[in-house]
Amino acid sequence: MSLLAPSTTVAPVARLTVTLYTRSQCCCCQAAREVLREYQAAHGFDFEEVDASDPSMADLIGPTVPVIAVDGKVRFRGEVNRVLFERLLSSHARG
């Protein structure tokens, strides 16, 4: 299995929602978005992006972005760990 591309052996996880908290001009946010879109195309989960520019968002996610939440629980900060994300997708696909 390649660590550079989404696994094709994981079943679709359509009931899963992945949220990317981001700000404009954030190069790490762009990289996280690209990785998540790649996995979304392969696995079919819902993807939403939230602008975290409002200072009140810091209470929810902290002061830095990107932040990636899966079904409302923060799972990654700064970047998407592909190995851990694939494990998360696998566990949700199994139910």
- The pTM is what? 0.85
Tokens representing 59 are: 């209470």
User: For the segment 39-78, what is each residue's pLDDT rounded down to a tens digit?
Assistant: 999 999 999 999 999 989 998 899 999 999 999 999 999 9
CATH number of 17-94: 3.40.30.10
Domain boundaries, the chain: 17-94
Given pLDDT bands bounded at 50, 70 and 90, which one contains residue 94? confident
Which DSSP state fits 56? G
Q: What's the rounded Cα separation, in Å, for the pair 19 and 52?
A: 11
- Residue 34: CB atoms within 10 A of its CB come to 11
